Amino acid sequence: MTVILQKIEAGLYRRGFVHEETRILVRNQLMLTLVIVILGCVGGWAWPRLFDFAAGTVLATWNFYFLSKFVHRVLEKAQVPVGGMLFQFYGRLLLTGVALFVLISMADSSVIALLAGLSTVVVTVLIWAITRMRGKNIKEA
């Protein structure tokens, strides 16, 4: 498992994720997505809502990945044209909306399962924050 984590982290570093904390967040979300997609493929035949959960997770991870890339550009103070950033943002928003529309209306996906999959990023960030706070000593006055 650690070999997979190292390969993912090295790949993310090569793609420009130089800040360690953001790279860890994206790596953890990618690993969670991999596990959920495997579970969806294995158990989705018995319980079809696992497919919907996996689809929501993939959509959330895709958006989170590109949002993290944007944050890296801002942190590095790279000169990125505003028009290009807005086009990418609204393009992803449009593609996500179309994917959700197709999944809900045409594929008859469960809205609750899709929303649960979309919320995996929030869970990943919460777990990351808890692990970071666990190691700090907080003194009150």
The chain-wide mean pLDDT, for the chain, equals 88
Q: Which residues of 22-33 are buried (b: 16+ CB within 10 A; e: fewer)?
A: bbbbbbbbbebb
- Give 82's contacts (C-beta < 8 A, 6+ positions apart): none
pLDDT in tens, 13-67: 999 888 888 889 999 999 999 999 999 999 988 898 999 999 999 999 999 999 8
User: pLDDT value at position 32?
Assistant: 93
* Six-digit token string for 40: 């969806």
Positive or negative: CA dihedral 137, 124, 67, 38: positive
